[in-house]
Amino acid sequence: MVAAYLLDTTDNSGDIEGICAHYDYHDIQSDEAVYGKGAKKGLPEDDEVFFAHLARKIKAIQWLTPKLEKELRDKKQMDLYRDMEAPISSILAEMEITGITVDANRLNKMKDEFAQRLNDIEEKIFDQAGERFNINSPKQLGHILFEKMELPVIKKTKTGYSTAVDVLEQLKDQSPMVEDILQYRQIAKIQSTYVEGLLKVILQDGKVHTRYLQTLTQTGRLSSVDPNLQNIPIRLEEGRKIRQAFVPRKQDWVIYSSDYSQIELRVLAHVSKDEHLQEAFNKNQDIHASTAMRVFDISQPEDVTPNIRRQAKAVNFGIVYGISDFGLSQNLGISRKEAKNYIDTYFERYPGVKQYMNDSVAQAKEKGYAETLYKRRRYLESINSSNFNLRSFAERTAINSPIQGSAADILKIAMIELDKQLKEKQFKASMLLQVHDELVFEVPQDELETLDQLVKGVMEKAVELDVPLITESSWGKTWYDAK
């Protein structure tokens, strides 16, 4: 599965059957056909059916192996497979099995507190609306806001009125109720997805055991499910408190976290060779402020206001994630024209980046795929499409995938080296989580100093780029306190 994923991320449905079909091997059924799906999923009643399926899978894997190996060699991806994806697979399994301890008492207290607050806000909203309705239903909420109260309709969805946060933000001054709805939404999200969601998946060992999907994303990133531990809140204080429930498995241990600072932009500085971007990182400047100065033509650092820096940050965000001028305009609440202007200016002021982007697109058009520093491929079917939208998307993808994908490669390399060292040096600490540019560990107090040295050293020296790789580390009694 991992080999097939490296060869082509798209034809990988997460099932051997799909891969077999690709190679015209049909003596196999999909897992779904045998085990069912949804609520009916389970082992077949007839053992023979079950065993026959397993046997056919083994046979299929044997048949596939030499073919996949040959293709890996032809595509020069054998190293990527052998030295990166195969070892990472075992490390992820260990992390999943280890799990992370979650303080259910803490979550239960939060649950009560949030339930009380949701109740209060709910009553307040009903009071102002003059009727009771389901605030969680965008349809009912839209009816109240845009029909009963006749607030201006700012945006529509396919099926009705949009009640998304950016819309509500604009309606705030029209009615005090809107603020309450925003407040309600914020807490309801934390309550249902995180407090209740996490409580449901704590096992007898007091831990949650996420599963990392290694063969899913088109860029080489991991994803995390059941539960997803890669999107635990952090930006807003209310949500951030969820992290207080993530604790070490023993008293006197701590949660230690280390993350790469701006790894994607550093990768971009490296692959593009852009003089200005490299200079900013080599001088360890505040990259968003530095971008602000170039894009908005500011000569003195002290003239970069927080708002201007925020805009520059959004531009950098757009570069890293491959968003369109429309996406940037939505992020910043500006017109598409202005957004396009920002992007054009960015390219003007970072000519190396522009050159890199042109080259990436040209190469993708020629080869039909984009690739990372470590030969991870992403095929781009629509790169030569006559459909503007499809083509534009593929072009942004051609630019963005090597950046995001190479960053993912680098963290995987660091994880492999760290895992090796932790074992060799017999650390008691365990690696628990990977969150795209961050690694989270639990560690005894007396090992903390050595672990910090090790993690920092390994992550920063995982690969050598034209610009330094910098990490920021922190620790505390809970994941919240590791900040």
> Which residue ranges make up the site for DNA (CB under 7 A)?
37-40, 134, 136-140, 142, 157-160, 162-165, 168, 185-186, 189, 192-193, 196-197, 200, 213, 216-218, 221, 223-228, 230-236, 239-240, 259, 321-324, 326-327, 388-389, 392-393, 396, 435-438
Q: How far is the CB of 13 from DNA (least distance, A)?
A: 12
Are 224 and 212 in contact by the 8 Å Cβ rule? The answer is yes
Cα distance between residue 276 and residue 460, in whole Å: 22
Q: How far is the CB of 213 from DNA (least distance, A)?
A: 5
Cα distance between residue 418 and residue 21, in whole Å: 38
Q: How far is the CB of 450 from DNA (least distance, A)?
A: 25
Q: How far is the CB of 184 from DNA (least distance, A)?
A: 9
| DSSP of 127-181 | HHHTS---TT-HHHHHIIIIIIS-PPP--B-SSSB---HHHHHHHGGG-HHHHHH
Closer by beta carbon to DNA, 304 or else 323: 323
Cα distance between residue 198 and residue 201, in whole Å: 5
Closer by beta carbon to DNA, 51 or else 326: 326
Cα distance between residue 284 and residue 476, in whole Å: 27
Q: Which residues contact 402 (CB under 8 A, 6 or more apart)?
A: 267, 271, 360, 370, 371, 372, 373
Long-range contacts of 313-319, Cβ-Cβ distance < 8 Å, separation of 24 or more: 313/288, 315/291, 315/342, 315/343, 315/346, 316/265, 316/287, 316/288, 316/291, 318/343, 319/265, 319/268, 319/346, 319/353
Cα distance between residue 381 and residue 372, in whole Å: 17
Closer by beta carbon to DNA, 196 or else 359: 196
Question: Tokens for 242?
Answer: 């969820």
Closer by beta carbon to DNA, 74 or else 381: 381
Cα distance between residue 326 and residue 465, in whole Å: 32
Q: How far is the CB of 291 from DNA (least distance, A)?
A: 18
Q: Is 451 exposed, middle or buried (0-12, 13-18, 19+ CB in 10 A)?
A: buried
Closer by beta carbon to DNA, 2 or else 52: 2
Q: Which residues pair with 186 in a beta bridge?
A: none
Closer by beta carbon to DNA, 274 or else 438: 438
Q: How far is the CB of 469 from DNA (least distance, A)?
A: 14
293 CB neighbour count, 10 Å cutoff: 22
Cα distance between residue 202 and residue 227, in whole Å: 10
Q: Is 103 left (phi over 0), alpha (psi -120 to 50) or beta?
A: beta
User: Where is 404: in which H helix or E strand?
Assistant: helix 388-424
Q: How far is the CB of 157 from DNA (least distance, A)?
A: 3
Q: How far is the CB of 201 from DNA (least distance, A)?
A: 8
Q: How far is the CB of 34 from DNA (least distance, A)?
A: 15
Closer by beta carbon to DNA, 327 or else 457: 327
Q: How far is the CB of 135 from DNA (least distance, A)?
A: 8
Closer by beta carbon to DNA, 211 or else 276: 211
Closer by beta carbon to DNA, 11 or else 83: 11
Closer by beta carbon to DNA, 8 or else 83: 8
Cα distance between residue 459 and residue 445, in whole Å: 21
